[in-house]
Structure 1
Amino acid sequence: MMQRELFASRMGFILISAGCAIGLGNVWRFPYITGLYGGGLFVLIYILFLLILGLPVMAMEFSVGRASQKSVAASFDVLEPKGSKWHIFKWFGMAGNYLLMMFYTTIAGWMIAYLFLMIRGDFVGRTPVEIEAVFGGLTASAGTSILFMVIVCILGFGVCSLGLRNGVEKITKAMMSSLFVIMIALVIRAVTLPNAMEGLSFYLLPNFDSIAEHGLWTIIYAAMGQAFFTLSIGMGSMAIFGSYVSKNRTLLGEGINITILDTFVAITAGLIIFPACFAFGVNPGSGPGLVFITLPNIFNAMPAGQLWGIAFYIFMVFAALSTVIAVFENIISFGIDLFGWSRRKAVLINFFAIVILAIPCALGFNVWSGFAPLGEGSAILDLEDFIVSNNILPLGSLVYVLFCVSRYGWGWEKFIKEANTGVGIKVPVKARFYFTYILPIIILMVFVFGYIDKFGLL
């Protein structure tokens, strides 16, 4: 049996796992829903759910990966009791990774396009209406969307083709380190803008009026959902990095480090966006509009705005590419684990597969914009995101939890032994009741309320 390549350093494992978790959701979704649901109050509830929901599932996923030394494509086959059917889940886990890249590569492509436009000076002196038209023009052009999506695939698979240590680990470490430096520079710039303090107080001080406006349960559900989705748990995207890590450290301790980094980026993104929005009297709206329409206007109004804009979009490109590279590494490992392919063969086959699979999302805003799978105003991207975020992630997390606690699966004793091997913070043995009975109920609530929220069933 071929020896599995391991990370060269513990820092590599932490930064790459954090890179997988740190994505565009941290930057454009977290600040927006924090502002919507009462600022600091939402942040506190969010951190609570990271600890009681995200961390346990992450520790389980890492444990399954490290114990099996395989990706989700083969980990259940290795660990499950003879005659059981846990391995069927691998097809859903693998599908989740492919589906995520079917739309994420298009959004990452937009980020690279915007960095290119910012460097070229296309936003300088433009009116807000003209800036909005730039984004409309980008998404309306099938050729441009596909071109930048292909560039993302070339970059991502190019890094993965160099191997785990020389490619994925080395380049992700450099990207993540740069990302933190750029973020801190942007925060310093944002908080020294005029009226920045108003933005900070809106963002960080608990606003109890929002409880009256939205209801405490809505805020709790929003925090629970964000905590759950931010860590990319439930489809084996973390298990793969567990399979590459040594047994020197406990897995809960490493999960805490990754969660801290992920939360740091999410909260810091808000420290950049809210002061800037308040300084220039702009509504920090949701989703793509924030990054592609609101922020270019702000950079235009800022001294040396083009330079700050370039820095911001480099940060966005690194946040997007860190996730792309991490998930591509997982996808490549499927071919290696299932069919015994060489890394080079797995890279080549998957490069063409992802490019072809991602084309519908790129066309969903232009040629196929008439197709609204989830009702008026929705696009192919929304359908793909719904399948991953509202179905595969919560149900996959439930599978990992049940597999680790059930005697019909891998079982609590084997999970605890693997998770607690090494030095560091250990999973308390007394947590068995919580992991077995309460955690699955919380995950089911995320799943059910996700549907209620999506389709307005209440």
Structure 2
Amino acid sequence: MENREKFSSRLGFLLISAGCAIGLGNVWKFPYITGKYGGAAFVLIYFVFLLILGIPILTLELAVGRASQRSVALSMDVLEPKGTKWHWFKFPAMAGNYILMMFYTTVAGWMVYYFFKMAAGGFVGMNADEIGATFNSTLANPTLNVAFMIAVVISCMLIVGKGLQNGVEKITKVMMIALLVLMIVLAVRSFFLAGGEEGLRFYLYPDFSKLMEYGITEVLFAAMSQAFFTLSIGMGAIAIFGSFIDRSRSLMGEAICITILDTAVALMAGLIIFPACFAYGVDPGQGPGLIFVTLPNVFNAMPGGRLWGTLFFLFMCFAAFSTVIGVFQNLITFWTDMTDAPRKKIVAYHIVALIVLCLPCALGYNVLSGLQPLGEGTAILDLEDFLVSNNILPLGSIVYVLFCACKNGWGWENFMDEANAGEGLKFPNGIRLYVKYILPLIILFVFVMGYISMFSK
């Protein structure tokens, strides 16, 4: 274990950690829940929760990874006091990583398919109904879903198979920089659309009456859960990157940098989507159909829309792939930490295993559409998403919080020593009581509200 590979640069660490956090939740979910809950007022509340929830938990998880120099497979085994059982957490944490990939690879496949379809002019001349029907026929086609899911699994696993520096870091750096450049180009394009000013006003000027319309509790929960899930905290997906860095920089500053990058992408997604929706008279609160139905309509109406649409779906592919590669890296490191098997062998086994595990979701809208696990109109994807987002992430975050804050865990002093080693912003010692008592209660609120909102529909 002494020759554990490291990132070649701090930029590599920040871009890859942010890349794991930046995913379809930023680009897909953030704009539509912002649209639903009234724009800028919701964004302000979201920022508050990033500050009081996201950054502390991100710092805790990075500290556990760096102090142990292991993935979630062995991080708590290394750090826990003798005789305690914190190491059992590795099993639900890794289950979370696998279940996330069981549906994420299918959605990433849709992005790749739409990129090729848009580039080939597949939407040219279609009306709104035809574009909606295209997405439904995409879901209904088992061969297409399975083929694109397999392509995503194999391509991302082969990148991870090349190692941390030569594969993951090299490719993700390029993808993330391309993603940020593409977003800026698309945001500038949207900014200058005739009629887009209303969209900017909706997005950037708070309208607190919207909060009253939905009820403050529902809005707080939506902002809290989005702040929480956007950073992928709670299942060791971020801790792994802590294990690949040295102690030259303190961790709170790094957590803030990751959060800023993650949030910048979510905000820019809104700058792309809202002016375009308002310019072309489309409802911005439309829900998940926004990406696959609404936006192709917008691009169809826009001069040069085929080019802009192709660039948009390319950027969506980068957002999806950066998360898949980050989580695959965690899966592979888990097994290299647990066994002495060579990396290439673990990668080969995983390609086969993941294709099998991902089949239920890829077939969930066609062959297995009769299975509606969470009630009428739901699919296997909804169950898998619910298991990760509403269960493993919040409960896993509570484990990290208590492990770092409690005497019978790793302990506050050990956490503070690790978090504050090196240059940069220090984690404030004065918030220990907040971390130990209030933070778990907030997370518990997210957990309970998740169940209430799921089963009171």
Whole-angstrom CA distance in 1 between matches of 2:148 and 2:36: 32
TM-score, with normalisation over the residues of structure 1?
0.99
Q: Quote the offset at 1:141 in angstroms.
A: 0.7
| Structure 1: unaligned runs, 5 residues or longer | none
**Segments ≥4 residues shifted beyond 6 Å:** none
Hey, what does 1:79 align to over in structure 2?
79
Q: Quote the offset at 1:174 in angstroms.
A: 0.4
Match of 1:336, as an amino acid? T
Q: Quote the offset at 1:455 in angstroms.
A: 1.0
Of all paired residues, the percent bearing the same amino acid is 61
Match of 2:284, as an amino acid? P
Whole-angstrom CA distance in 2 between matches of 1:112 and 1:58: 30
Hey, what does 1:237 align to over in structure 2?
237
Whole-angstrom CA distance in 2 between matches of 1:121 and 1:161: 34
Hey, what does 2:131 align to over in structure 1?
131
Match of 1:268, as an amino acid? M
Whole-angstrom CA distance in 2 between matches of 1:294 and 1:44: 26
Q: What SS does the corresponding residue of 1:371 show, helix, strand or coil?
A: coil
Match of 1:248, as an amino acid? S
TM-score, with normalisation over the residues of structure 2?
0.99
- Residues 443 and 414 (structure 1 numbering): CA distance in 2 closer, same or farther, change over 3 Å? same
Q: What SS does the corresponding residue of 1:7 show, helix, strand or coil?
A: coil
Whole-angstrom CA distance in 2 between matches of 1:178 and 1:22: 14
**Contact (CA 8 Å) 1:28, 1:286: kept in 2 or not?**
no
1:352 aligns with 2:352: yes
Q: Quote the offset at 1:396 in angstroms.
A: 0.1
Match of 1:183, as an amino acid? M
Hey, what does 1:254 align to over in structure 2?
254
Q: What SS does the corresponding residue of 1:125 show, helix, strand or coil?
A: coil
Whole-angstrom CA distance in 2 between matches of 1:438 and 1:288: 33
**Contact (CA 8 Å) 1:332, 1:347: kept in 2 or not?**
yes
Match of 2:81, as an amino acid? P
Hey, what does 2:44 align to over in structure 1?
44
Q: Quote the offset at 1:211 in angstroms.
A: 2.3
Q: Quote the offset at 1:217 in angstroms.
A: 2.0
Q: What SS does the corresponding residue of 1:73 show, helix, strand or coil?
A: coil
Q: Quote the offset at 1:119 in angstroms.
A: 1.2
Match of 2:356, as an amino acid? I
Hey, what does 2:119 align to over in structure 1?
119
| Structure 2: unaligned runs, 5 residues or longer | none
Hey, what does 2:303 align to over in structure 1?
303
Match of 2:373, as an amino acid? P
Q: Quote the offset at 1:287 in angstroms.
A: 4.0
Whole-angstrom CA distance in 2 between matches of 1:38 and 1:297: 22
After alignment, is 335-344 or 264-273 more displaced?
335-344
Q: Quote the offset at 1:347 in angstroms.
A: 0.8
**Contact (CA 8 Å) 2:70, 2:243: kept in 1 or not?**
yes
Q: Quote the offset at 1:286 in angstroms.
A: 4.0
CA-based RMSD of the aligned residues comes to 0.9
Match of 2:269, as an amino acid? A
Q: Quote the offset at 1:367 in angstroms.
A: 0.4
**Contact (CA 8 Å) 2:32, 2:288: kept in 1 or not?**
no
Summarize deviations over 1:214-245 as a string: whole Å, max 9, x none.
Answer: 12222111111100000000000001000001
Whole-angstrom CA distance in 2 between matches of 1:43 and 1:119: 33
Match of 2:332, as an amino acid? I
Whole-angstrom CA distance in 2 between matches of 1:309 and 1:33: 22
Match of 1:295, as an amino acid? L
Q: What SS does the corresponding residue of 1:182 show, helix, strand or coil?
A: helix
**Contact (CA 8 Å) 2:403, 2:409: kept in 1 or not?**
yes
Summarize deviations over 1:274-301 as a string: whole Å, max 9, x none.
Answer: 0000000011244431111111111111
**Contact (CA 8 Å) 2:55, 2:259: kept in 1 or not?**
yes
Hey, what does 1:168 align to over in structure 2?
168
Match of 1:115, as an amino acid? F
Match of 1:57, as an amino acid? I
**Contact (CA 8 Å) 2:34, 2:285: kept in 1 or not?**
no
Q: Quote the offset at 1:71 in angstroms.
A: 0.5
1:56 aligns with 2:56: yes
Whole-angstrom CA distance in 2 between matches of 1:432 and 1:3: 35
After alignment, is 247-256 or 210-219 more displaced?
210-219
Summarize deviations over 1:125-183 as a string: whole Å, max 9, x none.
Answer: 11111111211111111111000000101111011011100110011000000001100
